Structure 1
């Protein structure tokens, strides 16, 4: 029974969870892409503070340095803005142009999630739920087997107690 649950129910539960998660994440992708806008900012100066090491799949699969700069840009409605933004650009001299993302009001925002990344997150969530389901089923199976063995030992102990201390000796009337 446990094997059947592990091979059928756990993958089905993982698929269901992954599918639902993908639906929610794809909606989030659509909302983020509608609310965030790519724009070009002009660097005024490099901001103080050490650069951060981050991982950005758009840039590369390796860790890269993110530099904080003070920059000027225009909001989606054309209003001039300025402030501190983070960039992966290696060229951060004053006057350099860097790509940033802004929200509808022109404030700096994170890059919106893309559809393939959402699919990957959903697949990992589904796989994790499947593994969790398998672990719970196996844990339950082991608990049941352990309890059955404990009951068997208790029955054996009672049988030994009924046989008495002279069990197996010849001539004791047993």
Structure 2
């Protein structure tokens, strides 16, 4: 599509209406806002997620723990999506103190069995291992894309509403003009 054809609404033309010019500016504004605001929000969100995942990796440490109770088979934790059970464990914190808490582990393990748990720098248990580098990149990209869509959707919706209103106004004006010109062409048939 040539530039002249694409910019037809801005050209001087006796058939061009005020609504056509307003619609052209609305379309341009929507495209610019979606492109630039979406890109900026996507980049900021992805960068923020990357930073959060990097912090998680830097401050999450694997530690050996011991089960304090049997992990029953077939009973899953309320928030576990991978059929793990929540049982009490004991581990040593970075400061050397012995700690205990509850964490999800595979079912069927007996009390005293060693398991790997993840803790932060203060020795508190985390629910899962830190997000890996590759997984973090993928998740950050998905968060960025979702943020861009979250910005684009209301802007595109507002543009569609504005264009629909302009179409209604345009149709109303065409009807008024047809009512004025139509009788000059002769009687209606039917």
Q: TM-score, normalised by structure 2?
A: 0.63
Deviation string, structure 1 residues 61-82 (Cα, Å, up to 9, x no partner): xxx2111122221111221122
The answer to whether 1:20 aligns with 2:20 is no
Distance, in Å, in 2 between the alignment partners of 1:43 and 1:162 is 88
CA gap of 1:138–1:27, structure 2 versus 1, over 3 A, is closer
Identify the residue that residue 187 of structure 2 maps to in structure 1. 169
For the Cα contact (< 8 Å) 1:42–1:95, is it kept in 2? Answer: yes
Distance, in Å, in 2 between the alignment partners of 1:107 and 1:131 is 36
Shift of 1:11: 4.9
The answer to whether 1:155 aligns with 2:173 is yes
CA gap of 1:11–1:93, structure 2 versus 1, over 3 A, is farther
Identify the residue that residue 44 of structure 1 maps to in structure 2. 68
Shift of 1:10: 3.5
For the Cα contact (< 8 Å) 1:74–1:81, is it kept in 2? Answer: yes
Distance, in Å, in 2 between the alignment partners of 1:151 and 1:91 is 70
Aligned length: 160
Distance, in Å, in 2 between the alignment partners of 1:128 and 1:31 is 22
Shift of 1:98: 0.7
CA gap of 1:38–1:15, structure 2 versus 1, over 3 A, is same
Identify the residue that residue 92 of structure 2 maps to in structure 1. 74
Unaligned runs of 5+ in 2: 1-23
For the Cα contact (< 8 Å) 1:25–1:122, is it kept in 2? Answer: yes
- Which has more helix, going by share of residues? 2
The answer to whether 1:32 aligns with 2:56 is yes
CA gap of 1:153–1:23, structure 2 versus 1, over 3 A, is closer
Aligned-residue CA RMSD (Å) = 3.5
Shift of 1:102: 1.5
Q: What SS does structure 2 have at the residue aligned with 1:54? A: coil
Distance, in Å, in 2 between the alignment partners of 1:160 and 1:11 is 40
